[in-house]
A and B are shown apart, each in its own frame.
Chain A
Amino acid sequence: MDGASNQRRSRILVIEDNPADVELLRRALRYAGLDCELAVIDDGADALTFVRQSGTLSGGPVPDLAIVDLNLPKHGGLEIVAAMRANPLFSELAVVILTSSSAPRDRAVLERFQIARYMVKPPDLDEFLKIGSELKQILAAHDRRERSIPT
C-alpha cells in the first residue's frame, strides 16, 4: 500500500458545489496523511460533460476515486454516477457519495452503481476529519483490487 502511494499521487475527483465542503474535504485528506491530487467540478452539467467526454475537460488521466455530492446544480449526483458507469473509462472507478442528505438511499440503487461508500456529511468538525482516513482505506482497497486483476 505504501508502495503504491509512493509510486504516484492518488488522483481524486471531487464533484461538489460547496467550496466550504471542498475545503473541509481537503483538510480531512491532509489530516489522514493522504498525498493526493484533487480535481474539483462544482457544477452538475460540467461534471456530466466531463464524464461523457472521457476526461477531455481536465486533459488528465482517469482519477483513482470520485467523491460525489448528490445535491448539485443542474444535474444530480446519481445521474453523474450513472453516466460514469455507462462510460468504460469510469466503469471501474471507485465512487463515494458524500452528501448532506440523510434520507436513506435505496440499497438496490447503490448496488447497481457499485457505490463504494455512502457518507453523510457530519455536522461536527472532528467527525468530518475522520472521513479522510476512510477515503484512504477505500483508495487502498481499490488499488489492491485493481492490481489483483491480471492484465
Chain B
Amino acid sequence: MRTFRDMPIKQKLTVIIMSVTAAALVLTGLGIVISDSLLFRATMRRDISALAQIVADNSTAALAFDDPRAATETLASLKARPHLTAACIYLLNGAMFASYLRPGESGGCPAATQDQLRFTSSGLLIHRPVDLNGRRIGTLVMLYDLGEISEHIRLYAQAVLFVLLVSSAMAFLLSSRLRAIIAEPIAQLAQATTAVSETRDYSIRAQKLSDDELGKLADDFNEMLARIQSQDDELRKALLAQAAALQQTQEVRDSLRTTLASIGDAVMSTDAEGRVVFVNPVALKLLGMAEADVIGKHLDQVFHIVNEFSRAEVESPVTKVLREGRIVDLANHTILITQDGTEIPIADSGAPIRSQNGSVQGTVLVFRDVTARRRAEQTSVLLATVVESSDDAIFSKDLNGIVTSWNRGAERIFGFSADEIIGRSILAIFPDGQTEELADILECTRRGERIEHRETVRRTKAGELLNVSVTISPMQDPLGRIMGASAVSRDITDQVRAAERLARLNADLQRSNESLALNNQDLERFAFIASHDLQEPLRMITAYSQLLIGSYPGQFDKDATMFVGTIVEGTRRMRELLTDLLAYTEIRAGNEELAEVVDLNLVLDDVRQNLKAAIDESGAIVTNDILPKLRAYRGHFQPLFQNLIGNAIKYRGERPPRIHVSVQEEDGKLRFAVSDNGMGIEPSYHKQIFEVFKRLHGKKIPGTGVGLAICQRIVERYGGRIWVESQPEQGATFLFTLPNVAVHTAGEN
C-alpha cells in the first residue's frame, strides 16, 4: 500500500481537505449533541420536579382523608405522560397508599428511600414528600424512563450526521475544484519531466497555467530545458563530426593497411624502441610466424638474419636505422632464418618513420624473398657452363647474321675459333651458294618463329661438308624485341649416313617381304582353289568308274575289274589328300574370331568319341590332366588333339597304346604334352614330320602326311610352337606351347 507520503498530490489534497472538514464537523456535532443533551436533562429534571410537586400537591387531600381511590385517580392522570413508568404514593410508615403503572409495565413501584431526584439505571427516580401544612404525610415516588432523552439524542445525532455527510460532500466537491487549481500544474510539470526523461526530447515544454510559484517553476523548468536542448544539439553535432572524422581516419588507415597487406613485398614496422607494431601477410609467410607472435616483440626476436657465407649475425636494420636515422639497405647475401630454421635469401631496406616535428617515431622494414632471383643467377651461371661444355655447336647471331657468341662445341665442329668468327657473318659456315637458306632463317627469326631440328648441310673452315641438325630460336631483349637468334647445331653426318643405309636396307626388306607375302597368299589361294576344284573331277572319276562296273555286270573280266578298282582307290586316296590339304589351307583362310571359350576337356571328350573305333580296336587308354578353358576357336583344337592322339594310336608299338595329355604353365605360357608309348621317332626326322605330305611310313599305315602340318599351323596361328621329343621304340611326346589365353576357372590345374 502506498503511504500517504507517496500519494499523488491530488489525493493528498483531497485527503487533507476531507479530514479537516470531517474533524471540524464531528467536533461541532459532538459539542451540540452533548450540550443539548445536558440542557435537555436539566429541562427534564425541572419539568419532572414540577410535575412531581403538582402530583404531590394534588394527592395531599387524598392522603389527608385517607382516600386511596382519589389518590389513585390522581395518579392515573399521569398516563398522559408516556415516559412515566410508575408512580406510587407511600405512607410514612412505608406502606403503599396508591400506585400507577404504565400499561404493560410489569414491575412494581420502586421503594421509597430518600427524597431526592436521581438518574438510575432504569430511569429518573423522583422522591417527593407529600406535605400537608408543612407536615409530611407521605411520599410520592415516580420513575421516569430515559427513552425521551435517548430519542432526543438520536434525533440530534441523526441531524448532525446528515449535516456531516452533506458538508463532507460539499467539501469533496470543493476540494476537487481546489485541488485542480494546485495539483494540475504540478501534474503537468511532472508529465513534462517524465516525457523529457523518457523520450530525451528536449523540445518538450511544460504548460504554464498560473503566475504563482507553480507558474514560476514551469518557467524555470522550460528555461532549463531550452538550455539543455541547445547543449544537446551542440553535443550531437560535435559527436557526429567526431564520428565522421574517426571514420575517415579509419578508412585511411584501412586503405593503408590493405595496401601494405596486399603489397608483394614483406613489410614490417616498429615503434621507436624497435617493437613490431605492424606486419603484413607476406612478411608473416616469410617469417613463418603468426601475427600474434610477432606484434609487440622486438624486431631482433623475430627477424634473424645472417650473412650467407660467414654465418655471422647481421646487425638488425632497425638498430641501424634508429642509430643513423636514415634509410639503410641490407648487404648482399643476407639470409633470413625463419621460425622453423628455413633459410631464405632476402634483400631488404629499412627506413625511419618521422613524426611531423621530425623525430624518429619508428622504423619501417621492407624485404623480399630473392630465392628465385638467386636461382636464376645460379641457373644462368650453370647454363653458361652447359653451353660452354656442350658437344653441340651453340652460337648466336644478330638479325644481320653476324655471329655474337660461339662456344667450344662450335669451334670443334666448324673449325673456326670464337675470335675468328665473332663479328663476322655466319655465312662462313654455309656451303657456297646457300645464301638463300640464311636469308630464310633470318626471315623466320624476324617473324619470331623457331626452327626445330632442321637437317641441313654446313661447311667447316677446312671446306668439308657436314650434315647437321639445327635448332634456331629467336632471342628477345628485355622489351620483347627480337634482336637475334640462338642456334644449336649437331653434327649428324654419321647418323645421316647410318640412317640412309638403314633406310635402304629397310626398303629392300620391305620389298622382299611384300613379294613374299604376295607369293604366300597366291600359294594359299592356289592350294585352296586347287584342293577344292580338284574334288569335282575326282568325284566324277569315282562315280563314273563305279557306274562303269555297275552298269555292265558280268562283262568285265578280272583284270578290268581290278583296273577300275585301282582307279576308284586312287581317286579315293587323292580325295583324302585334297580334303586334308583343304583343311590345312583353311586354317588360315578361315575368318573366324577368337571369341569363344573352349573347354579343352570337352574337346578331348569329342576327340575320344571320334576316335572310338580306333581306341576300341587298339585297346588304347587315353588319360589327361584337367585341362584349362581357353579363349580360342573350337574348330582348331579338335583337329589338333585328334591328329596327335590319332597318330599316337596309329603309330603304336607292340603294347596297347597308353596316351596322356598334360599341361603345365611355363614362363607365362601353357605347355601341353601328348605322350605315348608307341614306336617313337628317329631324332633326325623330328623336324621333317611337320612338313606337308611328309610321311615316314608306307601304305601299311595309312595317312596323308598333312596331320602334323595342320597341328603346326594351328599352334603357330596362336603364336605357339610345336615339337616332338622321342627316341625310336621309346614312345613319343608331342609338345606345344600356347600363350596363356586360359580363362581362369576353379577347375584349372
The interface of chain A, by Cβ under 8 A from chain B, is: 18, 20, 24, 27, 100-101, 121, 123-126, 128
Contact = CB atoms under 8 A, between A and B. Distances in A.
A124 B540 contact: no
A123 B575 contact: yes
Contact of B539 (A27, A101, A121): A121
B550 A125 contact: yes
Contacts of B542: 123-125
A120 to B, nearest CB: 10
6 contacts: A20-B543, A27-B547, A100-B536, A121-B539, A125-B547, A126-B546
A137 B717 CA distance: 45
Question: Which residue, B536, B543, B544, B550, has most C-beta atoms of chain A within 10 A?
Answer: B543
Contacts of A126: 546
Given A18-B536, A20-B544, A24-B547, 16 more contacts: A20-B540, A20-B543, A24-B543, A27-B547, A100-B536, A121-B539, A123-B535, A123-B538, A123-B539, A123-B542, A124-B543, A124-B546, A125-B542, A125-B547, A126-B546, A128-B543
Contacts, number: 29
Contacts of B540: 18, 20
Interface majority SS (helix, strand, loop, mixed), chain B: helix
Contacts of B544: 20
B546 A125 contact: yes
Nearest to B536: A100
Closest 9 pairs (CB-CB, A-B): A125-B546, A123-B539, A125-B543, A20-B540, A100-B536, A123-B542, A125-B547, A24-B543, A128-B543
A134 B114 CA distance: 187
Interface in B530-557: 532, 535-536, 538-540, 542-544, 546-547, 550
A128 to B, nearest CB: 6
Nearest to B535: A100
A24 B575 CA distance: 19
A122 to B, nearest CB: 8
A126 B543 CA distance: 8
A65 B337 CA distance: 107
A70 to B, nearest CB: 13
A135 B550 CA distance: 22
Interface size class on chain B is 10 to 19
Contacts of B538: 123
Interface of B: 532, 535-536, 538-540, 542-544, 546-547, 550, 575
A123 B546 CA distance: 11
Contacts of A101: 532
B634 to A, nearest CB: 14
Contacts of B536: 18, 100
Contacts of A18: 536, 540
A83 B532 CA distance: 28
A121 B540 CA distance: 10
A66 B165 CA distance: 150
Contacts of B547: 24, 27, 125
Contact of A100 (B539, B546, B550): B539
Question: Which residue, A18, A20, A24, A123, has most C-beta atoms of chain B within 10 A?
Answer: A123
A128 B536 CA distance: 14
B369 to A, nearest CB: 78
Nearest to B532: A101
A53 to B, nearest CB: 31
B344 to A, nearest CB: 80
Contacts of A24: 543, 547
Contacts of B546: 124-126
Contacts of A100: 535-536, 539
Contacts of A123: 535, 538-539, 542-543, 575
Question: Which residue, B532, B536, B546, has most C-beta atoms of chain A within 10 A?
Answer: B536
Nearest to B551: A27
Nearest to A126: B546
Contacts of B535: 100, 123
Nearest to A121: B539
Nearest to A100: B536
Contacts of B532: 101
A124 B568 CA distance: 10
A25 B583 CA distance: 28
A19 B550 CA distance: 20
A101 B550 CA distance: 27
A126 B532 CA distance: 22
A108 to B, nearest CB: 17
Contacts of A20: 540, 543-544
A130 B540 CA distance: 16
A4 B540 CA distance: 34
A121 B532 CA distance: 13
A121 B537 CA distance: 12
A99 to B, nearest CB: 11
B242 to A, nearest CB: 100
A18 B538 CA distance: 14
A123 B539 CA distance: 5
A27 B575 CA distance: 24
A124 B540 CA distance: 9
Nearest to B549: A125
